[in-house]
Amino acid sequence: MEARQIQIFDTTLRDGEQTPGVSLQTEEKVEIALALAKLKVDVIEAGFPIASPGDFDAVSQIAARVKGPLIAGLARANQKDIETAYQAVKKSDRPRIHTFIATSDIHLEHKLKMSRNEVLERAEQAVRYAKSLVPDVEFSAEDASRSDWDYLCQVYTRAIAAGANVINIPDTVGYSTPVEFAALITYIREHVPNIEQAVVSVHCHDDLGMAVANSLAAIAAGAGQVECTINGLGERAGNASLEELVMALNTRREYYRAGTNIATRQIYRTSRLVSTLTGIVVPPNKAIVGDNAFAHESGIHQHGVLNNSLTYEIMRPEAVGISRNAIVLGKHSGRHAFEERLKHLGYELDADTINNLFVKFKELADRKKMVFDKDIEAMVAEKAAVRPE
Ligand code: KIV
Ligand code: ZN
C-alpha cells in the first residue's frame, strides 16, 4: 500500500502562544513563521486575528511575507470574527479561515447557552460565510471528544455540505485515550455521509500526556491532518508536539504507512528558536529535542553505541539536525567509553596507564555527576607528573 501523506498543521503561533506566560512580538512571530516554512509544514495557524490588534498585525504580516504553507487565521463561528480573520489572511497566496464552535453539552450549557440546533445552524452559517471569502475553510467542533457522537456527525455533515475543506476533531481538554480516540475517528468516517469531500483533522491536547499517542491513533484510523506545535507548547499542558509526531511517523513509517513533508533536519534549530523567543525551556529529557535525547550515560549503552549506534538509537541525531550523539561520562560509564574519550582527546596511553586512570575516573565519577574533558586532562597531567622517569 502507498504511504499516505499526512498534512502537518502547525499552531505554535496560535495555540502555542496560549502557553501561560508566553507573548510574542510581531517580528518574532514572523521569524518563527519563516522557520516553519523552511521546516515545510503544510499549514501555519498564524494567530487569532480578532483577539487583539497585535494578533491581527502578526497574522497579516505573516500572510504577506511567508510563502509556501497555507496561512490560517482562527475565528469563532460569527460574522465579525470571520470577517476579521479574512482581512488578516487575505494577503496570502494560500489563505485559510479556521472557524470553530463547541459541540459538547457541557460547553453548550455553561459557555454558549445555546441549544444543539442553534449550534448546528451557526456552524453551517459560519462555514458558508467563510467559504464565500476564501477557497479553503477548516471547521472545528470544539470539545469534540466529550460531545455526543451522533450529534457530532450531524454537525460535521452540515459543515461539509456548507463547504468545509477540512473538519477538525479536537480533544480540547486532553481527555481522550488512544483506543477511544481512534474509535471516534472511525465512527465519524463511517457516519458522516459526505466525509470523502473533506480532510479529517485532529487536534490533541496533552492534559493526560497522550496528545501524541492520540494523534497517532487517529492517523491509524484514517486522519489526514494533525495539528501540533513546536516543543509541544500550548494551552495548559500543551498540544501534541510536532517533533515527536513527525519523528514517530518517520521512524515507524512502515507501521503507519504514512509520512509527512517535513524537512526533519530543520527540527532542532526550529525547536531552539521557539524556545529562545518564547522563553520556555525544553526539559533535558524531552523526546527528540531535549539535551539528553541522544546522550548515552550507561557503560553498556556507550559500548553498544560506540560499536554501532543502532544498538541504542532508533534514529540518527543528524536526522533532526543535531550534529552527533553524546557520550556522557559518569559513574555508569565503562572502560570502553573512557578509552574512546582519551583517544578523542589525543592521548595514546599504554594499557596499564589506562587501567590506573580508569580507577581514578570511577572514584571521581562517584563524587561528581558528570566527568568532563578537563577533568580527564587533569587526571592525565597528574599521572604524568608522578610517573617515574
Ligand atoms: O483545543 C481546541 O479545541 C482548539 C480549537 C480552537 C481548535 O484549540
Ligand atoms: Zn487547542
- At 49-97, the pLDDT tens digits run 999 999 999 999 999 999 999 999 999 999 999 999 999 999 999 999 9
Q: Is 94 in contact with 69 (CB distance < 8 Å)?
A: yes
Q: Does the CB atom of residue 170 touch ligand 1 within 6 A? A: yes
pLDDT at 192 over 50: yes
Taking the C-alpha atoms of residue 368 and residue 279, their distance in angstroms, rounded to an integer, is 29
Ligand 1 atom 5: residue of nearest CA? 142
Q: Which atom of ligand 1 lies at the shortest distance from residue 227's CA?
A: 7
Cell of 250: 518517520
How far the first Cα of the chain sits from its last, in Å, is 71
Q: Which pLDDT score is estimated for 389?
A: 43
pLDDT at 14 over 80: yes
Gyration radius of the chain's alpha carbons: 25
Q: Quote the ligand 2 centre to 97 CA distance (angstroms).
A: 16
Ligand 1 atom 2: residue of nearest CA? 172
Of 269, 333, 318, 382, which is closest to residue 38 (Cα–Cα)? 269
Q: Which pLDDT score is estimated for 323?
A: 81
Q: Which atom of ligand 1 lies at the shortest distance from residue 15's CA?
A: 8
Q: Is 43 in contact with 75 (CB distance < 8 Å)?
A: no
Q: Which atom of ligand 1 lies at the shortest distance from residue 100's CA?
A: 6
Taking the C-alpha atoms of residue 116 and residue 110, their distance in angstroms, rounded to an integer, is 13
Which residue in the block uniquely carries the three cell numbers 512571530? 29
Q: Which pLDDT score is estimated for 387?
A: 52
ipTM over 0.95: yes
Of 217, 123, 107, 112, which is closest to residue 167 (Cα–Cα)? 123
Cell of 112: 454558549
User: pLDDT tens, 109-128?
Assistant: 999 999 999 999 999 999 99
* Best residue for ligand 1 mutational test, from 137, 139, 140, 235 (most atoms within 8 Å of Cβ): 140
Give the pairing of strands 95-102 and 225-228: unpaired
What's the DSSP call for residue 2? P
Q: Is 145 in contact with 181 (CB distance < 8 Å)?
A: yes
**Exposed/middle/buried for 196, CB within 10 Å: 0-12, 13-18, 19+?**
exposed
Of 245, 246, 277, which is closest to residue 263 (Cα–Cα)? 246
Q: Quote the ligand 2 centre to 258 CA distance (angstroms).
A: 24
Q: Quote the ligand 1 centre to 172 CA distance (angstroms).
A: 6
Q: Does the CB atom of residue 140 touch ligand 1 within 6 A? A: yes
Q: Which pLDDT score is estimated for 271?
A: 97
Cell of 358: 580508569
Q: Which atom of ligand 1 lies at the shortest distance from residue 144's CA?
A: 3
Q: Is 156 in contact with 144 (CB distance < 8 Å)?
A: no
Q: Which pLDDT score is estimated for 95?
A: 98
pLDDT confidence band for 168 (50 / 70 / 90): very high
The total of other beta-carbon atoms located within 10 Å of residue 183's CB is 15
User: pLDDT tens, 255-281?
Assistant: 999 999 999 999 999 999 999 999 999
Give the pairing of strands 166-171 and 199-204: parallel
Q: Which pLDDT score is estimated for 385?
A: 67
Q: Which pLDDT score is estimated for 368?
A: 86
Cα-based distances in Å from 179 to 145, 214, 237, 257:
12, 8, 21, 19
Q: Quote the ligand 1 centre to 120 CA distance (angstroms).
A: 18
Q: Does the CB atom of residue 15 touch ligand 1 within 6 A? A: yes
Of 252, 210, 253, which is closest to residue 232 (Cα–Cα)? 210
Which residue in the block uniquely carries the three cell numbers 472545528? 140
Coil, helix or strand at residue 280 = coil
Q: What is the mean pLDDT of residues 169-198?
A: 98
pLDDT at 388 over 60: no
* Best residue for ligand 1 mutational test, from 205, 206, 215, 229 (most atoms within 8 Å of Cβ): 205
Q: Quote the ligand 2 centre to 18 CA distance (angstroms).
A: 9
pLDDT confidence band for 3 (50 / 70 / 90): confident
* Best residue for ligand 1 mutational test, from 43, 138, 142, 146 (most atoms within 8 Å of Cβ): 142
Q: Quote the ligand 2 centre to 115 CA distance (angstroms).
A: 23
Q: Which pLDDT score is estimated for 369?
A: 83
Beta strands in the chain (DSSP E): 4-5, 7-10, 43-47, 70-76, 95-102, 137-142, 166-171, 199-204, 225-228, 258-259, 295-296, 326-327
Which residue in the block uniquely carries the three cell numbers 526550529? 270
